[in-house]
Structure 1
Amino acid sequence: MSRLNEIKNIYFIGIGGIGMSALARYFHAKGTRVSGYDRTRTPLTRELENSGIAIHYEENPELAPRDADVIVYTPAIPAQHAELVYYKENGYTVVKRSDILQWITEGSFNICVGGTHGKTTVTTMIAHILRHSGYGCNAFLGGISANYNTNFWSHERNVVVVEADEYDRSFLKLVPDIAVITAMDPDHLDIYGTPEEVENAFIQFSHKVKPGGALVVKSGLGREADLNNNNRITYSYDHAGADVRAVDVMVRNGSYHFNVKAADWEIGDVQLHMGGLHNIENVIAAITVARQLGITDDAIRSAVDAFKGVRRRFEYALNNGQHTLIDDYAHHPEELRALISGVKSIFSDRKMTLVFQPHLFSRTKDLADEFAASLDMADEVILLPIYPARELPVEGVTSSLVLNKMKLEHKHVFTKEQMLQYVTDKKPALVVMAGAGDIDAWIQPVKETLERSGG
């Protein structure tokens, strides 16, 4: 912790990223001078600017501070970025976001949530239960909590709840007291090479749990036997062999009512006002962690009842009885499968139009068959062009690669403008928009189109 206290001036390259902005808020709250660069101004960067953090949007070393003690960058920043190159060539302390998280968590009790999908929601649920119950924690989230409209908060209790990102093996720098693993599906194969290497990294993560700690892991994961077996607790929505699971699940007015059952305890009448059966499973993981911390059943039940979700995780942008528009961050085949299943569990009587923006050429190429199979579960699919993020185009890899593998009859590849025109013409009753790129910028235009169309 001592090196953190020595930082008086910190600069973030890519400050508008969800993880980077949480760290910027952390240092700003400590009284450290914080500034940063990002490529474009967004609602998130505006919030940072409004709090007093200086941000510029031109890649220019002349605009970057010369007196920064530490430079933090995200792996999404290209190695040839002019400011990053300047700082490295001139002897500055330049570290990744994961290094800063490692420094922050060196002297704290850490609850670290990893998984190729589900981790943002579970992290936010855990942090919310700890905050709502009065237990208290410092939270570093990979999404915006709808309850508090932020991805970071602090507390005097020296407990940290943090999303453990597997990209670039960043999560292996963390040392959990309690670790959660939600999934180990193939992803980031541009980094790992093979699905087995992804699994190996999660196995390594599980063995970083401190002595006397706990590992909370989704039941039925492949290679479960290789995971740390010291105080390992499995959870599931409905897997009979899990240590903790849901029973007596019912849907009432779009909310889930269920009991959470373990071998030696049970919490009855849990109410979750967040769509998607997978989110019942996510909240079971969060409840299991809360039980490990000794939080009472009543406090857990009250916190779950008050949970409003995470921005862009099964978020209702519109639900007026005539039209429903759901916004979700799903960008992996398993996330799409869970999203579509969850929507169908609530809106079984409506035809679903799914608008999906693939994220990364490498992920689309590696998982094209899996994407096609998941998307086939919808009634109608509109594929937008691939969002490249940090990558350059790959020959032969476009959204049509996925489209041509799909068996669904009603499928299209549209530009965003064509998609909006299609929604305007067809006025679908149920639209689900999914992806991790910039598709969220089109939520408002689609919402306004549906609202104008009336019935």
Structure 2
Amino acid sequence: MALLPPPGSHVHLIGIGGAGMSAIARVLLGQGYRVTGSDRIASDLAAALVAEGAAVVVGHDAVNVAGAQAVLVTSAAAADHIEVQAAREAGIPVYKRSEIVGDLTRGKKVIAIAGTAGKTTTTAMIAHLLISLGRDPSYIVGGTLPMTGLNGRAGVGGEFVIEADEYDHMFLGLSPDVAVVTNLVWDHPDFFPTPQDMENSFVQFSERITPAGQLIVCGDDAGALRLARTFTERRGGRRVGIYGGDPQAAGSFDSRALIEDLRVIEGSPAFDYVPTGAARMTIRLSVPGRHNALNAAAALTAVRTALDDRLDMPRAAAALASFGGAGRRFEIMGERDGVIVVDDYAHHPLKIRAALEAARSRYPRHALWAVWQPHTFSRTQALWDDFIDCFSDADHVLVTPVYAARESPISGIDGAGMAEAIARRHPDARHVVSFDQASALLLREARSPAVIMILSAGDAPRIGWMFLGT
């Protein structure tokens, strides 16, 4: 049963300037809804939505929901949010993302991409592939798709590509025809108190795959492979496929897509893609890092599956070669005096390690500066030991104060303590108390040739802009 009112109705989004909510707003606009929204601060995303037809206000107030026929609320909003309370008092239904994504995707072939890391880039790759192949998919991505400049769109084609976020069980509102799991490593300890809680959620996600659908997992990741083995025991008529570089990944799977002869050419990965039932194809990427070879293999496998193996592989290979990444994923901010500044959303040890490895492979003769803003106190505390060990590719590490997001401080968990712990294993790890101090230090010490990696899911990219003088 549909929860959203019909197209043409007024839908209000709380937190409309966020990555997830702004993408939903764009899909709603494309489907013919009247969209309003509010956020606590002005942003480029919110301004873009206004230009596209939404009405957006800065600040939250009960009057903002007046006249709405449905209210969508970001996971970051508190239960007692003033607009949520006002909507409920007025009898306006209030929904989370998990409750309405089924309505947004209804009638489409749903390709859902989940995983601790890599889901934004893989989602963007799949959308990029389908568009390049002449299709017109709908999509929701956690970062901007370079070829369209948008993170969400309602297309007229038969596919809906969606980043399936595990946080707040968003992905449990989907019924995917093709479900990709890039990896399964514990994250979001504020929502999943234990690794098993998170794994159980992914099992529930896999059980929502349609009866004729397919689960596709990375065979190189222990958690994803464990999920695939669990799924095979209860899959019914549904299929299971794996991709990756490990030919020994054990299990009863319907298909495999191997990555062979992985190498680096001019700073980016190239590999042979060897799928079941199709010819070997050489893939060369423009985006750096071994993890992007895995993401590309996932994207190819998902699109082949969605198109019932009717994929023009030479065209697909050319499309992947032209893929320039997703917003805030190894995104070049600029260069100053031979020092390159890169913005990356990495905020989990798995993501940080991958981002730094990518930087090292792209710029092997550059000094590598990692500027890390820990994201949430709960994650910093729960993954403390993993964070300490993920900076080995960096020559220099700067740690800022923790970005609290929705959380209150935890005693003993802070940037200074983390920097001190990293410094016990790393030759140069320092704490910076402010963005001003960080940018001043970089201006003083970073010398060409060098790369500064801003690793942050918060507001630390400001350090990069300060360094660049913009």
Q: What TM bracket, shorter-length normalisation?
A: over 0.9
2:363 counterpart residue number: 347
2:443 counterpart residue number: 424
2:89 counterpart residue number: 89
2:127 counterpart residue number: 127
Amino acid in structure 1 at the alignment position of 2:282: D
Amino acid in structure 1 at the alignment position of 2:462: A
Residues 209-220 of structure 1 mapped to structure 2, 5 A cutoff: 209-219=209-219, 220=221
Deviation at 1:211, TM superposition (A): 1.4
2:68 counterpart residue number: 68
Deviation at 1:136, TM superposition (A): 2.8
2:35 counterpart residue number: 34
Query: Is 1:259–1:266's contact at 8 Å kept on the other side of the alignment?
Result: no
Between the aligned partners of 2:137 and 2:206, the Cα distance in structure 1 is 22
Between the aligned partners of 2:53 and 2:211, the Cα distance in structure 1 is 41
Between the aligned partners of 2:468 and 2:294, the Cα distance in structure 1 is 29
Query: Is 2:30–2:153's contact at 8 Å kept on the other side of the alignment?
Result: no
Amino acid in structure 1 at the alignment position of 2:83: E
Amino acid in structure 2 at the alignment position of 1:427: A
Question: Are the structure 2 counterparts of residues 25 and 170 from structure 1 closer, same or farther at C-alpha, using a change threshold of 3 Å?
Answer: same
Question: Are the structure 2 counterparts of residues 68 and 85 from structure 1 closer, same or farther at C-alpha, using a change threshold of 3 Å?
Answer: same
Query: Is 1:178–1:214's contact at 8 Å kept on the other side of the alignment?
Result: yes
Deviation at 1:214, TM superposition (A): 1.0
SS at match of 1:374: coil
Q: Is residue 285 of structure 1 aligned with residue 306 of structure 2?
A: no
Query: Is 1:111–1:179's contact at 8 Å kept on the other side of the alignment?
Result: yes
Between the aligned partners of 1:264 and 1:149, the Cα distance in structure 2 is 35
2:312 counterpart residue number: 296
Residues 45-444 of structure 1 mapped to structure 2, 5 A cutoff: 45-62=46-63, 64-219=64-219, 220-222=221-223, 223-224=226-227, 225-228=229-232, 230-236=238-244, 238-241=245-248, 243-292=256-305, 293=307, 294-318=310-334, 322-406=338-422, 407-414=425-432, 415-428=434-447, 429-444=450-465
Deviation at 1:141, TM superposition (A): 0.9
Deviation at 1:422, TM superposition (A): 0.5
Between the aligned partners of 1:128 and 1:72, the Cα distance in structure 2 is 28
Amino acid in structure 2 at the alignment position of 1:257: A
Amino acid in structure 1 at the alignment position of 2:46: T
Between the aligned partners of 1:108 and 1:153, the Cα distance in structure 2 is 14
How far does the alpha carbon of each residue in 1:182-241 deviate from its partner, in whole angstroms, 9 at most, with x for none? 1111111111210011111112211211112111101142324213454211111x2223
Deviation at 1:289, TM superposition (A): 1.0
SS at match of 1:375: coil
Query: Can you give the 5+ residue segments of structure 2 that lack an aligned partner in the other structure?
Result: 250-255
Number of aligned positions between the proteins: 447
Deviation at 1:59, TM superposition (A): 1.9
1:18 counterpart residue number: 19
Between the aligned partners of 2:400 and 2:37, the Cα distance in structure 1 is 31
Query: Is 2:115–2:184's contact at 8 Å kept on the other side of the alignment?
Result: yes
Query: Is 1:4–1:104's contact at 8 Å kept on the other side of the alignment?
Result: no
SS at match of 1:404: helix
Between the aligned partners of 2:190 and 2:86, the Cα distance in structure 1 is 27
Query: Is 2:143–2:326's contact at 8 Å kept on the other side of the alignment?
Result: yes
Between the aligned partners of 1:390 and 1:61, the Cα distance in structure 2 is 21
Between the aligned partners of 1:174 and 1:195, the Cα distance in structure 2 is 22
Query: Is 2:175–2:208's contact at 8 Å kept on the other side of the alignment?
Result: yes
Deviation at 1:6, TM superposition (A): 5.4
Question: Are the structure 2 counterparts of residues 255 and 409 from structure 1 closer, same or farther at C-alpha, using a change threshold of 3 Å?
Answer: closer
Between the aligned partners of 1:349 and 1:24, the Cα distance in structure 2 is 43
Amino acid in structure 1 at the alignment position of 2:437: Q
1:447 counterpart residue number: 468
Between the aligned partners of 1:267 and 1:48, the Cα distance in structure 2 is 43
Between the aligned partners of 1:66 and 1:302, the Cα distance in structure 2 is 49
Between the aligned partners of 1:260 and 1:139, the Cα distance in structure 2 is 25
Between the aligned partners of 1:132 and 1:385, the Cα distance in structure 2 is 42
Query: Can you give the 5+ residue segments of structure 1 that lack an aligned partner in the other structure?
Result: 450-455
Amino acid in structure 2 at the alignment position of 1:233: G
Query: Is 2:116–2:184's contact at 8 Å kept on the other side of the alignment?
Result: yes
Between the aligned partners of 2:170 and 2:56, the Cα distance in structure 1 is 25
Between the aligned partners of 1:199 and 1:90, the Cα distance in structure 2 is 38
Question: Are the structure 2 counterparts of residues 50 and 365 from structure 1 closer, same or farther at C-alpha, using a change threshold of 3 Å?
Answer: same
Between the aligned partners of 1:253 and 1:447, the Cα distance in structure 2 is 26
Question: Are the structure 2 counterparts of residues 377 and 359 from structure 1 closer, same or farther at C-alpha, using a change threshold of 3 Å?
Answer: same
Deviation at 1:92, TM superposition (A): 1.1
Amino acid in structure 2 at the alignment position of 1:313: R
Percent identity, aligned pairs only, is 33
Between the aligned partners of 1:402 and 1:320, the Cα distance in structure 2 is 29
SS at match of 2:332: strand
Please, what TM-score do these two structures have when normalized by structure 2? 0.91
Deviation at 1:321, TM superposition (A): 9.0
How far does the alpha carbon of each residue in 1:286-335 deviate from its partner, in whole angstroms, 9 at most, with x for none? 01112211221022112112211101111222368922222110010111
Question: Are the structure 2 counterparts of residues 89 and 392 from structure 1 closer, same or farther at C-alpha, using a change threshold of 3 Å?
Answer: farther
Between the aligned partners of 1:405 and 1:376, the Cα distance in structure 2 is 14
Deviation at 1:404, TM superposition (A): 2.8
SS at match of 2:338: coil
Deviation at 1:4, TM superposition (A): 4.3
Runs of 4 or more consecutive aligned structure 1 residues displaced over 4 Å after TM superposition = 1-4
Amino acid in structure 1 at the alignment position of 2:314: D
How far does the alpha carbon of each residue in 1:114-171 deviate from its partner, in whole angstroms, 9 at most, with x for none? 1111111111101110111013311111111122111012222232110111001121
Once the two structures are overlaid, the 10-residue window that deviates more, 187-196 or 99-108, is 99-108
